[in-house]
């Protein structure tokens, strides 16, 4: 993903908590001794490594329910193990990321410039027109092709929409109750995944809503 990615996204993580929080979780419980606390920490350290293995081995992100099922964990146990994993990864080059379709491991953001420098062929350049079209759909969905053209003030290229469909970032879902019943466009979980978002609520605020207000 190119630097254009930052135009409509920002990396987020549900488990950005302090080390104090982790210590409190591991030390909690009725009259827990130092030995019991150490055993609990060792258990969650092992669980965190099992989660890391599964995330490395999986070709797709893994959800809370999948991880709980595979490792026979409660939600609280999973949350603690994920926190242990996140803190262990903090000193390395990988980071734990949660998006709409689940958890995955990815190279930390600070190394993106190095990757782009050494492997420029991996850089995906998204055109300004594509980003503008995608932004209108993301922020104003559901919208029709005509809505997008009204907001942007230019004709929407069929090639741009085809690229967005091919990437799996948008889908047609429903029809607008107007002449011709044009299809309504929505973004997908793959779109959220590509931009590191868990939900549309995590979209950054638009710098200028004047243009988009025309569709209100």
Structural domains of the chain, count = 2
Of residues 51 and 212, more confidence is placed in 51
Q: Are 89 and 47 found together in one domain?
A: yes
**Is 16 a domain residue?**
yes
pLDDT digits (tens, 9 = 90+) for 144-177: 999 999 888 888 989 999 999 999 999 999 999 8
Q: Are 102 and 30 found together in one domain?
A: yes
Kindly state the percentage of the chain with pLDDT values over 90: 47
Q: Are 90 and 45 found together in one domain?
A: yes
SS3 content of the chain, % helix, strand, coil (to 5): 55, 10, 35
For residue 95, what are the β-bridge partners? 106
Please report the pLDDT score of residue 30 as a whole number.
53
Q: Are 93 and 45 found together in one domain?
A: yes
Q: Are 77 and 172 found together in one domain?
A: no
Contacts of 85 by beta carbon, 8 Å cutoff, 6+ apart? 48, 49, 51, 52, 96
Residue 78 in tokens: 């999973």
Q: Are 107 and 8 found together in one domain?
A: yes
Q: Which long-range contacts (CB under 8 A, 24 or more apart) does 171-176 make?
A: 173/142, 174/142, 176/142, 176/144
Residue 90 in tokens: 């903090």
> What is the pTM (predicted TM-score) of this model?
0.62
Q: Are 12 and 71 found together in one domain?
A: yes
Q: Are 95 and 169 found together in one domain?
A: no
Q: Are 83 and 130 found together in one domain?
A: no
Q: Are 106 and 139 found together in one domain?
A: no
Taking residues 1-21, what's their average pLDDT? 45
pLDDT digits (tens, 9 = 90+) for 59-84: 889 999 999 999 999 999 999 999 99
**Is 117 a domain residue?**
no
Please report the pLDDT score of residue 26 as a whole number.
58
Q: Are 130 and 211 found together in one domain?
A: yes
Confidence of residue 187 (pLDDT cuts 50, 70, 90): very high
Domain end: 63, 81, 112, which one?
112
Confidence of residue 14 (pLDDT cuts 50, 70, 90): very low
- Give me the domain span that covers residue 41: 3-112
Of residues 161 and 3, more confidence is placed in 161
pLDDT digits (tens, 9 = 90+) for 91-134: 899 999 998 889 999 888 788 788 777 877 665 678 888 989 99
């Amino acid at each position: 993903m190119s630097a254009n990615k930052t135009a409509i996204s920002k990396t987020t993580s549900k488990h950005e908590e302090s080390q104090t929080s982790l210590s409190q979780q591991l030390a909690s419980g009725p009259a827990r001794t130092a030995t019991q606390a150490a055993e609990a920490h060792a258990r969650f350290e092992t669980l965190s490594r099992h989660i890391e293995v599964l995330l490395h081995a999986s070709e797709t992100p893994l959800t809370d329910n999948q991880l709980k099922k595979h490792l026979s964990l409660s939600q609280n146990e999973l949350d603690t193990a994920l926190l242990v994993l996140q803190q262990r990864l903090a000193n390395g080059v990988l980071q734990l990321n949660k998006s709409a379709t689940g958890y995955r491991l990815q190279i930390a953001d600070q190394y993106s410039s190095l990757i782009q420098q050494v492997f420029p062929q991996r850089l995906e350049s998204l055109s300004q027109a594509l980003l503008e079209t995608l932004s209108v759909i993301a922020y104003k969905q559901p919208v029709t092709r005509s809505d997008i053209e009204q907001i942007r003030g230019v004709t929407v290229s069929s090639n741009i929409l085809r690229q967005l469909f091919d990437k799996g970032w948008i889908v047609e879902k429903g029809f607008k109750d107007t002449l011709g019943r044009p299809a309504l466009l929505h973004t997908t979980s793959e779109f959220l995944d590509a931009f590191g978002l868990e939900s549309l609520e995590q979209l950054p605020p638009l710098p200028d809503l004047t243009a988009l207000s025309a569709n209100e």
